[in-house]
Structure formats: C-alpha cells, structure tokens
Chains A and B, each alone.
Chain A
C-alpha cells in the first residue's frame, strides 16, 4: 500500500544539525512532489518545504530558509530534510507528505502523510 515512513528524529543541541529521511513505497515516487510539515507540541501544522517531482524546484518557509535543505533521491524513493543551525523553536514532530497528483506545481492537497518523527532541540 501507499506508505511514507520518516526516520532520523531525536534530541539535538541548539546549533547542531540533523537529517531526516522519508522512505516512500506503493506509488511512483519520481512523479510526485514531496513536502515536509511540522507540528510543535500542542500547536498547529506548519508547512516547512517542498521539492518538485524531479527535484528541480524547492521552496521553503521563511523561518527555515538558509538553515534547512530539502532533497530527494528518486532511485531510493526517499526525500530528505537536512536541518542545520537548529533552534529550540524547531522542536516539533516532522511529517513528510505527498502531493495528491502527479507532476503537480505545488498547488495540490497532501493526500498521504507519514507517521512523523520527533525532533527535540535542547541543551
């Protein structure tokens, strides 16, 4: 079945780096844009970044620009989020999610989500 599985979360000190992975299965990964969305404890959803199906375009929310990098390896059916210069306010559950339709241009709904991976930034 269609599935996304995140990994790589954990506890990290402020200023350090962490890389999240999201492994996809059950669909033709290379034809879908992929997103990262986060949710701080007890808070709402915040979109973080998107990478288009072929990796040519990437977009970020302002608060992570210059610190986070989204990438994908279509040969491994995996999307990544490299996070650096981490701050306490980056503490959240990080979800990956896929676009609803193939070859979308960032205007689709997110029809499949992973279970999330927790990132805690604390000294």
Chain B
C-alpha cells in the first residue's frame, strides 16, 4: 500500500496567515493527489484534485502543487471558515489511501 504522510499533524495560525501543509507519498503517485477539507461533524469537501487543479466553487486562496512523492497545499490568507482538518489522498493505486490529516486551529 502507498503510505501518505502529512505534516504537520496540527498547526495554529491567525486570520490572514499563509499556511502550508505537506504530503509525502511512499512511492510516486504522479499527480493522482487530491486535497480535502473537513469540518467537525461534516463530510469531507474536495478542494484540489490532480495535485494542482482547483475544484469548482473553492476559493482561489487555496492552491496545490507537487508531483511524484511530494505535494503541498497552501492557503494564502487564512479565513475564519478555513479552520478545519485537511487530508491528502492518493488515487493512483488501489487501495486508495489518505494522509493522517492536518488540523488547522486558531492561534
């Protein structure tokens, strides 16, 4: 199975901050890498697909980059509604696997 390692596991940030979350795959997933946001008690919501494509309806402050084994999710100008957990996911190989998640909290 492809292991997905996210870092950090949690972070504290202020409104307006630039936040970067990293995701590393144990082997190449090319650009079959997606990012989701999840708020407490809610289902995950797709933010970024194919490593760098912004899902329709998602604010442009969210961006993704990377290929192969190393990926980054960046939030440029954190907003109050962005405090949530974020998960990366690889869909290159079955079984589909998720990173352990990054919780973004208010500083």
A residues touching B (Cβ–Cβ < 8 Å)?
A: 35, 37, 44-47, 50, 59-62, 95, 100, 106-111, 113-116
Contact = CB atoms under 8 A, between A and B. Distances in A.
Contact of A47 (B50, B97, B100): B97
Contacts of B38: 45
Interface of B: 1, 32, 34, 36, 38, 42-46, 49-50, 55, 87, 89, 91-92, 94-101
Contact of A113 (B32, B43, B91, B97): B43
Contact of A109 (B42, B49, B100): B49
Contact of A111 (B1, B46, B92, B99): B46
B96 A50 contact: yes
A110 B55 CA distance: 11
Contacts of B96: 35, 47, 50, 106
Contacts, number: 62
B95 A116 contact: no
Nearest to B34: A109
Contacts of A110: 34, 36, 44, 46, 89
Nearest to B91: A107
A60 B1 CA distance: 12
A111 B87 CA distance: 14
A114 to B, nearest CB: 6
Given A100-B49, A109-B34, A44 B44 contact: no
Contacts of B49: 100, 108-109, 111
B91 A45 contact: no
9 contacts: A44-B101, A46-B98, A47-B97, A107-B32, A108-B91, A109-B34, A109-B55, A111-B49, A114-B43
Contacts of A109: 34, 46, 49-50, 55, 89, 91
A44 B100 contact: yes
Nearest to A113: B43
Given A45-B87, A47-B98, A110-B89, 10 more contacts: A44-B99, A47-B89, A50-B94, A59-B95, A106-B91, A107-B32, A109-B49, A110-B34, A111-B49, A113-B43
Contacts of B101: 44-45
